[in-house]
């Protein structure tokens, strides 16, 4: 990929690592936007909207630099319920208890801003999680690992052992689907 440097509208070290797999170097400038869902908002629409808003927020501040701006947003959806990052340990336990033994969707939208335009792609992955004992969930929460992750778990960490199967993108569940990201960056 000829593109070598971009602005990443995120502070996620996982996204930085995934971009490095594509040979893309980035400067991280997290976007400060309201991440509240709108009443009745579909989870897939929610992540697309937030990814675009993050890209535009950074573009408003740094768009004149001429670098592509990449933004992403990930959420876990159980039915129409959006499970974002947990507010605290009790919230993490509530989310993980609901996901335990479930089949749920992980939606990740990737948006790229360049030259006044935003393009966005959505990746949706179906995840089947085993029934996880309460004591194991509590131990996981005590580790602190789930606190900055949508749905209160990271497939690339300890919770990966609970994932029975996925139908979709592993990197999408991590927070940046490589296929869609490469397509958007290549388009520029």
Beta strands 69-78 and 5-8, pairing class: parallel
Residue 1, pLDDT score: 44
Which H/E stretch holds residue 142?
A: helix 134-142
How many Å apart are CA 103 and CA 110, to the nearest integer? 23
Residues annotated as catalytic (active site), given as ranges:
73
Q: Give just the sign of the alpha carbon dihedral 85, 91, 95, 97.
A: positive
For the chain, list the domains and their CATH numbers. Answer: 5-187 (3.90.950.10)
Q: Name 133's Cβ contacts closer than 8 Å, sequence gap at least 6.
A: none
Angular region, 3: left φ>0, alpha ψ -120 to 50, beta rest: beta
pLDDT at 64: 80
Global pTM value: 0.93
How much is the pLDDT for 3? 55
Give pLDDT, residue 15.
Answer: 94
User: CB of 53 within 8 A of CB of 38?
Assistant: no
- pLDDT score for 158: 96
DSSP state of 86: -
Residues of the chain with pLDDT under 50: 1
């Amino acid at each position: 990929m000829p593109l070598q440097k971009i602005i990443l509208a995120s502070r996620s070290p996982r996204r930085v690592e995934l971009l490095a797999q594509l040979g893309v170097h980035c400067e991280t400038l997290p976007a400060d936007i309201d991440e509240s869902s709108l009443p009745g908002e579909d989870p897939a629409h929610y992540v697309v909207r937030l990814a675009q808003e993050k890209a535009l927020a950074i573009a408003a501040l740094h768009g004149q630099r001429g670098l592509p701006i990449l933004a992403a947003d990930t959420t876990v959806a159980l039915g129409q319920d959006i499970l974002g990052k947990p507010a605290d340990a009790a919230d993490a336990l509530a989310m993980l208890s609901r996901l335990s033994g479930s089949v749920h969707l992980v939606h990740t939208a990737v948006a790229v801003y360049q030259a006044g335009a935003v393009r966005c792609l959505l990746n949706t992955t179906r995840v089947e999680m085993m029934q996880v004992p309460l004591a194991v969930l509590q131990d996981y929460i005590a580790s602190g690992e789930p606190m900055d992750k949508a749905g209160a778990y990271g497939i690339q960490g300890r919770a990966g052992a609970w994932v029975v199967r996925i139908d979709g993108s592993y990197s999408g569940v991590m927070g940046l689907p490589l296929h869609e990201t490469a397509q958007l960056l290549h388009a520029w």
